[in-house]
Structure 1
Amino acid sequence: MAKKQDLLELDIDKAFEERSIDEIIEIEKLLDAEIERKRNELRSMVGDRYKDVLAASDAIKSMKTISQLIVNSIEKVMSTCEEFINPVSTDIHTPLEVEKEQVDERTVIIQIRMAIFMNEQIWIAIDEENNLEATQYYLLAQHIHTGLSLSKNKYLDKIPLLHQIKSNLVVLRSRIFHKIVEKLESVDTSAQETSQNLNALLLLEKQTSSDLLSIFIEHRKTALNTVMHTSYSSVRMQISSMVKCLITTVRLLHDCFICSLNQQKGLIWQQLEEIVGGSSTTTLSKLQLPVTPLISYIPEVIRNFRPTFKYSVETETSLNDAETVLKSWLESTRKTLETGLEKSLELVTNVKGLHLIREESLKLEPPENWEQICKDSHLPENFDVWYCFFQNLITNSCQILISKKISLVSQEIQSYIKDRLNNISKDERSGTSLIWYTWKEEPSDVGKAEDAHSGLSMKHRGFSPTIVDLCYKLDTKYFEILEDVWQYLYGKEYGSNDDFSLVLKDYKFKRKYIDTPDTENHLQAECAETSLQLSNFIRDHINQNSDNLVTKSIICARFLQAATQLCPNFNKCCMFNNSTMDWSKICDTFNKTSHTLWLNWVQDIVKTTEKQCEVLDDISLKNMLKVLGRWDEIEIQEQTDEKVFKSQIKVPLKPSLALSEIFANLNEELCCILPHTLPKLVHVQYIEDNVNVILRKYKQLSDKELNQKQALQLLFDVKYLTTFCIPRENVQLIELSQDICDKLRSRIDPFDLDVFYSYLQNNVKKAVIQSQIMFGCLLPSPGQLSCLGVSEKLNEQDQNPSILALSVPSSTTWFPLLPVSAPSQKLSGTPSKNIKESTQKPKATLKKSQDSASMMRQSAASLFGGLTNDWFS
């Protein structure tokens, strides 16, 4: 017998080749026995491990059999019931031929069954959100209970359940009313659904049309409040939902109460007529009653029941009073939105957010027949929900945001100015001189852009890096304001080239930006007011802090000058629609404050001049030898009848060395401050205040005991000082100078004075003409020397312009004159128009391949090439 392992590994083909038929039959039997054994082992294993599964399988088979038996039994019962019903007459108009007592009993029974059935139908209608049908069923159920109350009590007393059914109607009525209110207060609903709910309310409460309109308006107010106090992802979505709610309110009011599309009356009255009209169907016919032979016992009063309402044409036409109701609604809605949106709008932190709110809300298109709706509803002409309720709120919010932003900008700028003044650089702290900055060659002096706020463009204006940085900070803040408000004002990004005037030709877009002029005016006024506050802050801050007073005063004075030139965005904020009134006011205030700050520097120089003038007090002979220069020796002739007498006289040729030193110091201080950048009034006051100090010192000297030579030199000095520095319109200084000269002339022999005076006057003129080369910055005006014949000499040199023209002032302000020595007769220059023609600034461009020496040469060339009219204006 083959082993089990051999059977499992048996090769069938080889077995048939090697073994006989008997052996094959024996092997087959062995294999069958092995297979059966395996089956038994498998059954035993499944029985042990899957006993529950097998039991469940048997139970399922049993349940299937039992279920089939139950179905068969039910079908048999239904078949038997049908056999009983078929012989019975179901004609609802032919009552059964039974006794009267049985009829009354069955009538009560069917009414009780109807009461129970009606409760179920009301619940079904409520669940299906068909409130009008639920209301009609409720009225029918109430009518059924009224009929039952009139029946014999002996039947009713046997049915205590009836009282519970009747009490449930109260709950159902409350439920219906709640559903109606919920629908009327929903944000977005259809006119059909709203009219159904209003009719349901009308049938339940028996309201008049005017009362119904008021109730409708009140519920829509509640709907608006619901939207207002609902949490949204953004204020934009909240306001958009409110706009949608209000548009829906107007549309529902028109469609429900006034008319619907081309109909002559509103949906409410159309539906109401279908319910209570003479041709309307009965309420019972709208129900699918259960199949029962008792249907024939339903009383006629229940069969023919329909809701009642005193409906007439006058009910509709009374809506002419809707104008009063709507007017009240408009006012109350405005107040509600004004208070309700206050906190929401506070969450919007920039004007761009208001622009997005407006864009989102205006995307909501009103119905196509909106104009007709507004006209029929007695609403104002061109009524629009956004512009009527929200536009003013958004405009006010925009103006509040602008005020806050500008106030914040003012605080930041003031704080920044404080920090910069408290951390003045070493170069700036060293004094008032800008020479360290102006004459320092840098690769960035020559920029590719002519209007770049760097390099020579700033150096020749006297604007140091601190000034440029302050202006950049100020302009950047106003740029941020413009960037924020530009889309709200014009619907485009700031700096875009879109033509806003073309957009305004479209009425729709024009109305969209209806508040643009008011917002521009508000922005302009706020910027102007803040600018004035900035000016006052700078003045007060400088006055309260005495450390580095002069340096801080000059920095702030130059900043106020530069702010009106280097801040285009600041200028734009203060000058909308070419309205220059506010900008002119700002410039005037800045100039006045700048002038006040410059006076701190002037007063400091005046104090220095007072100390320097003390050297004039010493009029001893030893000191006079030090301060007196070489006198001019002049030979004069006097002819008599007999012969000619020749003699020599000496008159002063130059101002005293002490006065020249004082002049040099004054000129140096003025050159350090870059006189061509100095305001004209400050420049003149600088000269006048210092000259006043010098003249008063000479007045003290004129009261002392002077010899004739001292008197001549002092008279020369005063004449020189008066001719060179005192404007002819300054009567006070002219009179002071004249008093001093009179006293000094009194110290000179009258005969000698008569001889010397004309020569002294000529020497004064020569000295003045020669001094303008070195001290030209101390001339108060270009016409100061016109009385000396300089203008005629200028005309003579019109045909021969030269660099010496730079040594003669050509306009109202000055820059440091070049120290070029030349004979006095060639000191005059060409007129300003020739200077402009010969000094036009070339357009210089820098190549990367240029070396530093080449760049330095170009910087120097650009300096002299840049001496355009800006240097003299």
Structure 2
Amino acid sequence: MVLRSKNISRKITEKLESVEITAQGISDNLNALMLVENESCSKLLSIFIEHRKEHCRSGLQTSAMVRCLITTVHILHDCFICTKNEKKGLIWQQLHEVIKESAPTTLSKLELPVSSLMSYIPEIAKPLSLDNIETSLKNANVVIESWLRSTQETVRSGLQKSLQLITTVKGLHLIREESLKIELPNNWESICIESHLPDQFNVWYYFFQSLITDRCRSLISHKISMNVQDIQGYITDTLNSAIKSDKSEADLRWYVWHEENTDVSKVQNVHTGLSLKTSGYSQNIAGLCEKVDKRYLELLEDVSQYLYGQEYSCDINFSVIIKDYKFKRKYIDKDELENHLRIECTNNTAQITHFVNQILDKDSDEFVTKSIICARFFQAISTLCPNFNKCCKFNNMSDDWLRICDVFNRSSHILWQNWVTKSIEQMQSEVDKCDDISLTNMIRMLPRWDEIEIQEQTEEKVFKSKIKVPLKPSLILNNILLKLNNSLNCVLPHTLPKTIHLKFIERNVQVILSMYERLLATELNQIQALQFLFDVKYLAALCIHRENVQLVSYSQEICDKLRSRIDPFDLGRNNVKKSVFQSQMILGCVIPSSAQLASLGVLEKSKEQEQLPSVFGAKYSIIILLVPIITNNCAIPENGLKKDYEGSWYFDYGQKPTKTTPKKSQDQGSVVRQSAASLFGGLTTDWFS
């Protein structure tokens, strides 16, 4: 008898853990267990729940676990819960049918062979009432709460390991889609209410959603971390290939001034060709940014379906508001994951800048070149990495992107400082060679002087005399400024951060002024003192910003000491202004700003001059080099280009320009075939006014 009882219990257990079992089948098996083992209602419920948990643990797929739990809730309600209309659970309904007064005898349910001996077998007694049997589940809400807690732990322990096998957010999206496709019973709401389950109870959102969200957060963090590691590798590869190339990244003139067929893009908002050249971004920088942006594009493509239910595209609206409740609930973790993605991208930015600082070796010969490459890379990210931008601007949170750009800009400025420091070292070695002011060297450095007439009024007569004063800066200062200008041209000064450009000029000017201060310690004659005074005043007018009180005071102090060695007379500033005006185009890169020239009045034009054509903008003419005149037979008017005794061309702005009327060509064909050289030759005055 004991063996039969065990066999019955084993068969019942197999049925309870079956996938396709119905509420009717569960009720039949639990009733059999109650009658065989004399179990209470609470014990039956515990047995049922434990067997369903075991089935849930054995589920290999998330959707199978969801289906199992939905079935469990449905069966638990139908078998154990008494409804509002006092309808008892299916277990007690079936039990009542078995033991009620009108129920057939147990022996009648057996199929026995026909025999005369049957008349001698007594009927098996039946229970007369249900008084000794529990016919309802007491404290149903407590039991349900306990089941919810225990099931959560079961699902968490069973699902976490399988979720580790999912390596993409898109994979989590597919799991969610499959699970939410499972249909709920038609009376699901009433089932949840009568079973004392939470409001709007849903198996997926209650047991699985938080686990999926946590795994999604983990995947996003991992992917961003891998992105940063890959970016570090891209930076290293770019630096190595750029250093090995025969085209230097420290001098981009080979790239900017080389015309290519791809300079003009036919697609709007695509940074290529001239767009890159005008920004100072070489192909190395553009390629590096393209690789970086591709990594973040892959990240957006991976999370797009999970967050928005559609494939990623550039036109996707990340701030879309889904009004339908079902869709809102489906994407319930959208804001949380967007914020997580944004914060992770922001926080990992510092790793990139920290890595760059680590790989740069100050003792290396390529230290400055690598610093320039990395500085330009940090400048280019904000323009050439739109997908990186989108990862940091979810929900229109542009403040984070601005902070990231600020981090990159600060790092770029620090890297540009390395270039400035190297330039200062080179300038220092250059000015150290200029301490020799012997007669021979002075002959080499003195330019042409101007002869002016001065007069002195007495009571008897007027005494007139002619003296010579400097007209241009010394050749040594001119050479130094040309080298400074050339250094700036190599790195394209219009692409430099304004503060770096200004610091480059100011620190180099500081070194140059220190040279003149050292010369004050020597025995200077009046000619030397006059020329050096002109040099310092010229340098201050051209390169020292008026707001830089320290440099202005420093230059003024040197000028005062030089004046003390010169016979007193009115020096004036006309020659300084004229010299600055003549050299503003050649040395435009070393001028701090257009306001520097405005303070001297050299940007003022007469009404007649303003009517003449000009290809240069008023504000930007100072950074464009003078276009050379390449024709040999062009006529030079008296108020146009002139050549000094050294053979250098300059403009004479002392006289008002006169309009020249070009002769009409007799041969229209020759006009069409004229070269660019003759065209510029005919426009020498009007073109550069």
User: TM-score, normalising length from structure 1?
Assistant: 0.70
User: CA offset at residue 796 of structure 1?
Assistant: 7.7
Question: Secondary structure of the residue that 2:197 maps to in structure 1?
Answer: coil
What 5-or-longer segments of structure 1 have no aligned partner?
1-168, 231-237, 829-856, 858-873
Where in structure 2 are the equivalents of 1:416-815 lying within 5 Å?
A: 416-424=234-242, 430=248, 432-495=250-313, 504-543=322-361, 546-749=364-567, 752=568, 755-758=569-572, 761-793=573-605, 799-805=611-617, 808-809=619-620, 814=623
Say if 1:727 and 1:417 are closer, same or farther in 2 by CA, change over 3 A: same
C-alpha distance 177-547 of structure 1, shift in aligned 2 (>3 A): farther
Q: 1:270-301 deviations in whole A, cap 9, x for unaligned?
A: 1111112333222112223321112221224x
Task: Identify if the C-alpha distance between structure 1 residues 547 and 499 changes in structure 2 by more than 3 Å, giving closer, same or farther.
Answer: closer
Which residue type is aligned with residue 506 of structure 2? E
On the 8 A contact 1:553/1:598 being kept in 2, the answer is: yes
Distance, in Å, in 2 between the alignment partners of 1:569 and 1:496 is 9
Q: Which amino acid aligns with 1:471?
A: C
Partner of 2:4 in structure 1?
172
Q: Structure 1 residue 211 and structure 2 residue 25: aligned?
A: no
Mark the CA change 1:783 to 1:660 in structure 2 (over 3 Å): closer, same or farther.
same
Structure 1 residues 329 and 454, CA gap change in structure 2 (3 angstroms): same
Query: Following the alignment from structure 2 to structure 1, what is the Cα–Cα distance between the partners of residues 439 and 316?
Result: 81
Larger of the two Rg values belongs to structure = 1
Query: Aligned partner of 2:87: which letter?
Result: Q
**In structure 2, how many angstroms separate the alpha carbons of the residues matched to 1:826 and 1:197?**
116
Percentage of pairs with the same residue: 56
The structural deviation recorded for 1:385 is 0.7
* Cα distance in 1, alignment partners of residues 318 and 442 from structure 2: 77
| Native 8 Å contact 2:318 2:394 kept in 1 | no
Superposed, 1:12-23 pairs within 5 Å as none
Task: Please report how far the alpha carbon of residue 332 of structure 1 lies from its aligned counterpart in structure 2 after TM superposition.
Answer: 2.2
Q: Which residue of 2 aligns with 1:305?
A: 126
Alpha-carbon distance change, 500 to 566 in structure 1, aligned in 2, over 3 angstroms = closer
Aligned mates of 2:319, 2:382 — CA distance in 1: 28
Cα pair distance change 1:722/1:498, threshold 3 Å: closer
Partner of 1:785, secondary structure, is helix
Q: CA deviation at 1:262?
A: 7.5
Distance in 1 of aligned mates of 2:163 and 2:317: 30
Structure 1 letter corresponding to 2:120: Y
| Paired residue type of 1:267 | L
- Tell me, yes or no, if the aligned pair for 2:456 and 2:463 is still in contact at 8 Å: yes
Equivalence for 1:273: 96
Backbone CA RMSD of aligned residues? 2.6
Distance 1:408 1:777 in 2: 42
Partner of 2:634: none
Local SS of the residue matching 1:404: helix
Q: Mapping of 1:29-68 within 5 angstroms?
A: none
Give the CA deviation at 1:545. Answer: 6.8
Residues 826 and 289 of structure 1: is their aligned pair in 2 closer, same or farther, counting only changes over 3 Å?
farther
Deviation sequence 1:86-121 (CA, Å, 0-9, x none): xxxxxxxxxxxxxxxxxxxxxxxxxxxxxxxxxxxx
Match of 2:209 among 391, 396, 399: 391
Task: Verify the 8 A CA contact 2:220 2:341 in the aligned structure 1.
Answer: yes
Alpha-carbon offset, residue 756 of structure 1: 3.2
Which amino acid in structure 2 is aligned with residue 695 of structure 1? L
Partner in structure 1 of residue 663 of structure 2:
none
**Structure 1 pair 501/669, CA: closer, same or farther in 2 (3 Å)?**
closer
- 1:305 corresponds to which letter in structure 2? K
Q: Give secondary structure in 1 for the equivalent of 2:584.
A: helix
Change (3 A) 1:764 1:488: same
Q: Normalising to structure 2: TM-score of the pair?
A: 0.87
Q: What is the letter of the counterpart of residue 2 of structure 2?
A: V
2:295 counterpart letter in structure 1: K
Contact 2:249 2:373 in 1 (8 A): no
Where does residue 56 of structure 2 map in the other structure? 224
1:319-366 Cα offsets, whole Å, 9 max, x none, are: 3x1222222222222222222222211111111111100000000021
Bigger CA drift: 425-434 or 574-583? 425-434
Q: Which shows bigger deviation, 379-388 or 263-272?
A: 263-272
Secondary structure in 1 matching 2:456: strand
Structure 2 residue identity aligned to 1:255: D
Equivalent residue letter for 2:149: E
Of 288, 292, 296, the residue aligned with 2:119 is 296
Picking from 108, 132, 150, the partner of 1:285 is 108
Q: State the secondary structure of the residue aligned to 1:635.
A: strand
Q: CA deviation at 1:400?
A: 1.1
Tell me, in whole angstroms, the C-alpha distance in 1 between the residues paired with 2:309 and 2:371: 43
Alignment of 1:146-165 (within 5 A): none
Q: Please give the alpha-carbon distance, in whole angstroms, between the structure 2 residues aligned to 1:765 and 1:568.
A: 47
Distance in 2 separating the partners of 1:794 and 1:346 = 78
Where is the helix percentage greater, Structure 1 or Structure 2?
Answer: 1
Consecutive unaligned residues of structure 2, counting only runs of 5 or more, are: 630-649, 658-675, 677-689
CA displacement, residues 469-523 of structure 1 (integer Å, 9 cap, x when unaligned): 1011111111111111111110001117576777711110111111111111111
Q: Separation in 2 of the partners of 1:612 and 1:654?
A: 21
